[in-house]
Amino acid sequence: MTATDAATGLWDISMNPSTSPMLSEERDAILANPGFGGHFTDNMVRAKWTADKGWHDAELVAYGPLLLDPATNFIHYGQAIFEGLKAYRHAREAEKTLYLRPFMFSTEIGLGVKPADSYEYLLIASPAGAYWPKGLKPVSVWLSDDYVRAAPGGTGEAKCAGNYAASLIAQAEASQHGCDQVVWLDAAERQWIEEMGGMNLYFVYGSGDSARLVTPRLTGSLLPGITRDSLLTVAADLGMRADEGQISVEDWKAGCESGEITEVFACGTAAVITPVGEVKSRTNGSWAVADGGTGPVTSRLRQELLDIQTGEIPDHHNWLHAIC
């Protein structure tokens, strides 16, 4: 059984690390250029949950393949969720981090569609460099007029595996049109901007001291990302007004044409902040966001967030947790 420390709520984990860790030369070569999501640490954490025992058998074990019965519930019916967070080594790293991926899936065996009564939790860790391999440059986005990712009452506000499976056809369509990413619209009216494939969006109105930020409000069908949330606070710290609101496709297009919208950027744990330079769509045409480059508000917020994450400036909000 897994004992839980009453004071901290932390699990008591059995330590059974890998007996054949990666050779240091191989590790150094990976760490010199880790990319994103392609390499994993020697060990992972796993724990089980069952309806009768709750959480138990938490252990740190060698990273390796899972042995699954072909009738394991989640393979068929998609009961799987994940998160993503980053550990920074302060004073040593610029954009190199340890990306942590906790996830959980149902392990009950059988072909009945039902909430499972057993789950497995896993935590894997991946050394990560910059998210975009070609460096920070504005992305082009494809507005998905034809497909929807999430609808009111659905699972869109969780990092639930099925949401991502449902998004891939539109992502493929975006690529066919030469775009880096898809942007989702609301399912009911197909006119309100929700979010990008794997990041939330921010719109910058005006410039200089009068720059104002708007991010799509949380409707239940978009992800309440932690980066989106942090930026509402960081913007206020920097004296910028930041609101949650509704932005339609028409607002986006007209705002860029009139110059009212000066910058648009996407945000998320993995890539931090990425400027959006160009928008394309089947029914609303194509347009550029300002000059298609990276604007000053985008750069400023990105730097501020990175500086907090890397310990270059104080964390006034107690967002950081020291782990060693």
Ligand X SMILES: Cc1ncc(COP(=O)(O)O)c(C=O)c1O
Contact residues for ligand X (CB under 6 A)? 84, 159, 195, 198-200, 223, 225-228, 268-269
Name the minimum Å distance from CB 229 to ligand X: 8
Please report, for residues 55, 70, 72, 167, 192, the alpha-carbon distance to residue 75 in angstroms, rounded to integers and kept in the order given. 21, 8, 6, 18, 33
CA distance 315 to 319: 7
CA distance 301 to 287: 24
Which residue number, 86 or 282, has a Cβ lying nearer to ligand X?
86
Which residue number, 86 or 114, has a Cβ lying nearer to ligand X?
86
Name the minimum Å distance from CB 313 to ligand X: 20
CA distance 203 to 252: 9
Cα angle 134, 136, 142; round to 5: 85
Which residue number, 20 or 318, has a Cβ lying nearer to ligand X?
318
Name the minimum Å distance from CB 174 to ligand X: 14
Which residue number, 84 or 295, has a Cβ lying nearer to ligand X?
84
Name the minimum Å distance from CB 198 to ligand X: 4
Taken as a whole, the chain contains a residue count of: 324
Which residue number, 72 or 269, has a Cβ lying nearer to ligand X?
269
For ligand X, which residue has the nearest CB? 225
Q: Name 118's bridge partners.
A: 50
CA distance 95 to 88: 9
Name the minimum Å distance from CB 81 to ligand X: 11
